[in-house]
Amino acid sequence: MARPHIVIVGAGFGGLSAANALAGADADVTVVDRRNYHLFQPLLYQVATAGLSPAQIASPIRAILRRAANVHVLLGKVNGVDKERRTVALDDRTISYDYLVLATGARHSYFGHDEWESVAPGLKKIDDATAIRRRILTAFENAEGADSHEARRRFLTFVVIGGGPTGVEMAGAIAELARVALRHDFRNIDPREASVVLVEAGPRVLAAFPPVLSAAARRSLERLGVEVRVGTPVTRCDADGVTIGDDPLAAATIVWAAGVAASSAAAWLKAIKDRVGRVMVGPDFSLPGHPEIFCIGDTAHALDADGKPLPGLAPVAKQQGAYVARVLRARLADKPPPKPFRYRDFGTMATIGRRAAVADFGWIKLDGTLAWLLWGAVHVSFLIGFRNRLIVMLDWLWSYVTFQSGARLITGPGSH
Amino acid sequence: MARPHIVIVGAGFGGLSAANALAGADADVTVVDRRNYHLFQPLLYQVATAGLSPAQIASPIRAILRRAANVHVLLGKVNGVDKERRTVALDDRTISYDYLVLATGARHSYFGHDEWESVAPGLKKIDDATAIRRRILTAFENAEGADSHEARRRFLTFVVIGGGPTGVEMAGAIAELARVALRHDFRNIDPREASVVLVEAGPRVLAAFPPVLSAAARRSLERLGVEVRVGTPVTRCDADGVTIGDDPLAAATIVWAAGVAASSAAAWLKAIKDRVGRVMVGPDFSLPGHPEIFCIGDTAHALDADGKPLPGLAPVAKQQGAYVARVLRARLADKPPPKPFRYRDFGTMATIGRRAAVADFGWIKLDGTLAWLLWGAVHVSFLIGFRNRLIVMLDWLWSYVTFQSGARLITGPGSH
């Protein structure tokens, strides 16, 4: 009998964790991804704000899984799943599976305002990050050449929509770029006059953190000169700027860090989904009625052992991937399934700028320099590849000591 | 009386060298470039072959010229020059000059076959390099998924057209990528079976070097598995592959490293130009009849003190830029002009792969490991910025020790 074939779609935190945990299992594993690299998304905002280069936070999937002889990597875009025939349709072929793990992640949601996307790009892919970097750096260039005070103010106004970790980190990093790295670069403008506005519709930033850390993050942002506006949603978003509630604000650069929507997995499976499009799955992350199909990470709406929904975080996806691999290994060996999944929360963190961050470990809450050092250590240690760890550490050290940032390139279609 | 205004178009080796040498002069200097960074072109092939990241060989022009208080930097595209009114036309404005330095570089020439450009991209800009990197890495991915022997062979055939330093370095780097870095990454193909063909219409590669070094370079290339075909031009170039003389070759990836044509400067100036479009200039690099206009680097056809045409090399452009700055400083101070220009040749080098390079210093010719170490030392030391030097050195060291290359990302429009 042929060995069973496990297909994993998506090489993000969840898919890669499952693939790694299936190395050496008695099955053929195929990992399908649209891109040839695994991206360390928590540091993507540093690419968007010219602190790091794309290659420092991305590793080729083939290189990561090189030693797993039973794991194949396939570059391709999945367009659908046939649950009855047990096949996955790619652009140019169809592959069969015995077991299917969907770890396809999330994309942005503009809450019904898809027309906002072209003016307010989100931050999920490397190409998003280099596009946002281009917009931010070009705005300063345009301000330097602007011929009226109004035009200059508009170019020097940056709006970040969404007060979660990505929004907070983006706003802090843009403010720091303007006040520190670009400080002496211009002749007609003072980049320190840039106005960075962080808009959050809810009552506070970092809503997933305890209120005391939200307040600390807000103070740190304000110390960097970021204007924090909570409690009012954005009601308009176009090439001229935004309207916050009823209040118009002229801004040339808008970054979207607000809504998240699951990928198309629910549509492929014709499955029941939650409000943001995630597939409702059972306690072992399998699809009800289809024990051979699993959804993990941002693709799935799953409950923890205590009945609370699991949050959309990298550690959750990783632990789910490893768990599904254990479930599969048990089934392949005709052994009883593993103990029910329980998310082990090692804490969450967000950084705001030079020597400012917040960290929540449950039993202890930190802010300031100590949280910032911890944030750096944890993020470097989770990067894949010793080279990336070393080079990112050197880059950060360098930026810290010299007040310079390393990757201030305007590249891509807009650069002529 | 207002201070004279010197406009420098282009922040390549020539323009930047002129701007640096004019720091502190009694004049306002404006450097205009389409891009916000200076690019170290000699290492661009390493970005195209996934060895380095763009930010490691590019530095923001503003940061380089930060301390030169009399130098302004303007991001913009020049469309024309009005010699009578002494103005330069940009997309959105016109600027006046008292002195003009054109250092606009070169682009590719397809010898009348402009339709070849879309299948055989050249290597001048960062966006070219990431596009070529995408094509090369995607070819291996497509070979892994190919369903026939013919298709696989076509995807695994790489043709580099042009046997100058760029062509030799590209061919060597592609062969090394296949034989070393990607070696264990695939399951269906062996990347070492990739066929890399270097085509040169002339009788030998590296025609500007002495024949003994051309022969050494050819041996090194063949040791890496590159097929070197000299003496026959490419007569067809399309999506299926190339024809070399009468000999068709199916190839999915073609890189153009053959012809160079000057930028549009001669057209802007309505000046006399040579066969490849370079402006004919006098011994001080000024335009005949217009002592206030200078052309340097690949923009100019100039003669050395011994009457020989100056080659299109980075050191020539740098020395010309510094010389024009001396001419201008003398004029501003009403002093006699400097001594006639004489190019100081410190030698030329090209690298082929791990521990293989050739170097010609006139009095001594080197090849092999020593030339390779020298090549590395010289190229690192000429990079702008200590951070870039350190990180490129670490990256090279890392690749040398681990046989891995660092920036194997498929990014950009073709990556879905």
Residue B354 and residue B375: Cα distance in Å, rounded?
12
* Structure tokens, B313: 């090399």
Residue B165 lies in a domain: yes
A187 reaches B (C-beta below 8 A): yes
> A325 and A272 share a domain?
yes
Least confident of B16-20, B285-289, B367-371: B367-371
Give the contacts of B269 (CB within 8 A, at least 6 positions apart).
B81, B83, B102, B279, B287, B290, B293, B295
Structural domains counted in chain B: 2
A329 pLDDT above the threshold of 70? yes
B68 in a structural domain = no
Is the pLDDT at B321 greater than 90, yes or no? yes
Tell me whether residues B36 and A410 touch, CB distance under 8 A. yes
Residue with the two structure tokens 């339709």: B115
Element (H, E) at A286: strand A286-287
With contacts defined as CB-CB under 8 Å, which chain B residues touch A415?
34-35, 127
Q: What percent of chain B has pLDDT over 90?
A: 69
Q: Using 50, 70 and 90 to split pLDDT, how confident is the model at B184?
A: confident
DSSP reduced 3-state for B333: coil
Q: Which residue in the set A34, A72, A416 is minimally distant from B34, CB to CB?
A: A416
- What pLDDT digit, counting tens, does each position of A88-123 carry? 999 989 999 999 999 999 888 898 899 999 999 999
CB contact under 8 A, B34 and A145: no
Using an 8 Å CB-CB cutoff, list chain A residues near B187.
72-73
The answer to whether position B58 is within a domain reads: no
Residue A209 within any structural domain of the chain: yes
Q: Are residues A135 and A280 in the same domain?
A: no
How do residues A235-284 score in pLDDT, each as one tens digit? 999 999 999 999 999 999 999 999 888 889 999 999 999 988 999 999 99
CA nearest to B404 within chain A: A63
Residue A372 has a pLDDT of 86
pLDDT interval class at A330 (50, 70, 90): very high
Give Cα separations from B346 to B284, B298, B352 (angstroms). Answer: 21, 19, 20
Q: Within 10 A of A146 (CB to CB), how many other CB atoms are there?
A: 18
Q: Is A411 close to B54, i.e. CB distance below 8 A?
A: yes
Catalytic residues of A: 169
Nearest CA in chain A to B181: A63
User: Rounded to the nearest 5°, which phi and psi values hold at A120?
Assistant: -125, 75
Last residue of a domain, one of A282, A299, A332: A332
A261 contacts A276 by C-beta, under 8 angstroms: yes
On whether residue A56 sits in a domain, the answer given is: no
Could you tell me if A250 and A374 lie in one domain?
yes
As beta bridge partners, residue B273 has B279
The closest CB to that of A409, out of B34, B37, B74, belongs to B37
d(CA A263, CA A270): 13
Alpha-carbon span B404 to A274, nearest angstrom: 43
Q: Residues A221, A353: one domain?
A: yes
Q: Which of A359-363, B84-88, B409-413 has the lowest mean pLDDT?
A: B409-413
Q: How far apart are CA B156 and CA B109, in angstroms?
A: 26
Give the separation between CA A11 and CA A13, rounded to whole angstroms.
7
Domain at A145, CATH number: 3.50.50.100
Q: Are residues B362 and B320 in the same domain?
A: no
Interface of B with A in 372-391 (CB under 8 A): 387, 390-391
Is B409 in Cβ contact with A387 (below 8 Å)? no
CA-nearest residue of chain B to A125?
B411
Task: Give the gyration radius of chain A's Cα atoms.
Answer: 22
How, if at all, do strands B247-250 and B253-256 pair?
A: unpaired
Chain A residues lying within 8 Å of B56, measured CB to CB? 53
How far is Cα B84 from Cα A187, in angstroms, rounded to an integer? 29
Overall average pLDDT of the A2-11 stretch? 95
Chain B residues in contact with A54 (beta carbon < 8 A): 53, 407, 409, 411
Query: Is the pLDDT assigned to residue A340 strictly greater than 60?
Result: yes
* A145: contact with B, CB 8 A cutoff: yes
The C-alpha atoms of residue B362 and residue B343 are separated, in whole angstroms, by: 14
> B394 and A394: CB-CB below 8 Å?
yes
Q: Which of B66, B138, B182 sits opposite A184 (nearest CB)?
A: B66
Q: Do B36 and A406 touch (CB under 8 A)?
A: no
Of B63, B184, B411, the CB nearest to A126: B411
- Residues of chain B with Cβ-Cβ distance to A395 below 8 Å are 387, 391
Whether the pLDDT of residue B316 is over 90: the answer is yes
Contacts of B398 in chain A (CB under 8 A): 387
Q: Computed over its alpha carbons, how large is the radius of gyration of chain B?
A: 22
Final residue of a domain: which of A285, A303, A332? A332
Query: What is the CATH classification number for the domain harbouring A311?
Result: 3.50.50.60
Q: What percent of chain B has pLDDT over 70?
A: 97
Q: CB of B279 within 8 A of CB of B101? A: no
pLDDT at A225: 94
pLDDT the model gives residue A366: 85
Which tokens belong to B32?
A: 């205009």
Which pLDDT value is given to residue A355? Answer: 79
Given a cut of 70, whether residue B379 has pLDDT beyond it is yes
pTM above 0.95, yes or no: no
The answer as to whether B253 is a domain residue is yes
Does A60 lie at the interface with B, CB-CB under 8 angstroms? yes
Nearest chain B residue to A140 by CA: give it.
Answer: B75
What does the pLDDT read at residue B89? 97
Provide ipTM, 2 decimals.
Answer: 0.83
Q: Which residue of A has its CA nearest to B70?
A: A187
Q: Yes or no: say if B38 and B64 are a contact pair by the CB < 8 Å rule.
A: yes
Q: A98 and A121 share a domain? A: no
Q: How far is A12 from chain B, CA to nearest CA, in Å?
A: 15
Q: Does A41 touch chain B (CB under 8 A)?
A: no
Q: Are strands A286-287 and A290-295 parallel, antiparallel or unpaired?
A: antiparallel
Does a structural domain hold residue A240? yes
Q: Which residues of B are catalytic?
A: 169
Partner-chain contact B411 A77, CB within 8 Å: no
Q: What is the pLDDT of residues B225-269, one digit of tens each?
A: 999 999 999 999 999 999 999 999 999 999 999 988 888 999 999
**Do the chains contact at A36 and B137, CB–CB below 8 Å?**
yes
Cβ-Cβ contacts under 8 Å for A79 (sequence gap 6 or more): A89, A90, A91
Q: Same structural domain for residues A155 and A236?
A: yes
Does one domain contain both A156 and A197? yes
Measured between beta carbons, the chain B residues lying within 8 angstroms of A191 are none
Contact between residue A249 and residue A243 where contact means Cβ atoms under 8 Å apart: yes
Q: Nearest CA of chain A to the CA of B99: how many Å?
A: 21
Query: What is the mean pLDDT of the segment spanning B139-162?
Result: 95
Inter-chain residue contact A36 with B410, CB threshold 8 Å? yes
Structure tokens at A364: 């202890």
> What per-residue confidence (pLDDT) applies to A201?
95
* Residues 6 or more apart in contact with residue B221 via CB below 8 angstroms: B168, B171, B172, B175, B198, B205, B228, B352
DSSP secondary structure letters along B288-323: TTEEEEEE-GGGEE-B-TTSPBPPS-HHHHHHHHHH
Write out chain B residues lying below 8 Å of A63, CB-based.
185, 404, 408
Q: Estimate to the nearest angstrom the gap between the alpha carbon of A359 and the chain centroid.
A: 18
Residue B317 confidence class, pLDDT cut points 50, 70, 90: very high
Calculate mean pLDDT across residues A391-408: 73
E-assigned strand segments in A78-173 = 78-82, 87-90, 94-96, 99-102, 106-109, 157-161
**Is residue A98 located within the same domain as residue A180?**
no
**Does B187 contact A416 at a Cβ distance shorter than 8 Å?**
no
Task: Dump pLDDT digits (tens) for B192-221.
Answer: 999 999 999 999 999 989 999 999 999 999
> Which amino acid is located at A264 in the chain?
S
Task: Tell me what pLDDT residue A341 has.
Answer: 96
Q: What span, in angstroms and rounded, lies between the C-alpha atoms of A242 and A251?
A: 7
**By mean pLDDT, which of B267-271, B347-351, B411-415 is the weakest?**
B411-415
Is B309 in a helix, a strand, or coil? strand
Banded pLDDT at A361 (limits 50, 70, 90): confident
Q: What is the pLDDT of residue A233?
A: 94
pLDDT at B1: 59
| pLDDT tens profile B13-56 | 999 999 999 999 999 999 999 999 999 999 999 999 988 889 88
Specify whether B134 is located in the same domain as B232: yes
* A171, A308: one domain: no
CB within 8 Å: B66 and A185: yes
Q: How far apart are CA A379 and CA A360, in angstroms?
A: 15
Tell whether A191 lies on the interface with B, counting CB pairs under 8 A: no
The pLDDT of residue B413 is above 70: no
Task: Place B377 in a pLDDT band, splitting at 50, 70 and 90.
Answer: confident
Confidence of residue B400 (pLDDT cuts 50, 70, 90): confident
C-beta atoms of B187 and A72 within 8 A:
yes
Q: Assess whether A158 and A220 both reside in one domain.
A: yes
Listed residue (B57, B184, B398, B185) closest to A389, CA to CA: B398
Question: Is there a contact between B145 and A387 if contact means CB atoms under 8 Å apart?
Answer: no
Q: Would you say residue A80 lies in a domain?
A: yes
pLDDT at B84 over 70: yes
Q: Quick check: A332 contacting B, CB < 8 Å?
A: no
Q: Which of A186, A411, A415, A416 to mutate to test the interface with B (most CBs of B within 10 A)?
A: A411
What average pLDDT does this structure show over A347-351?
86
Look at residues B304, B332, B360 and tell me which one is the last residue of a structural domain: B332
Q: Name the DSSP class of B316.
A: H
Domain hosting A321: range is: 5-34+76-105+263-332
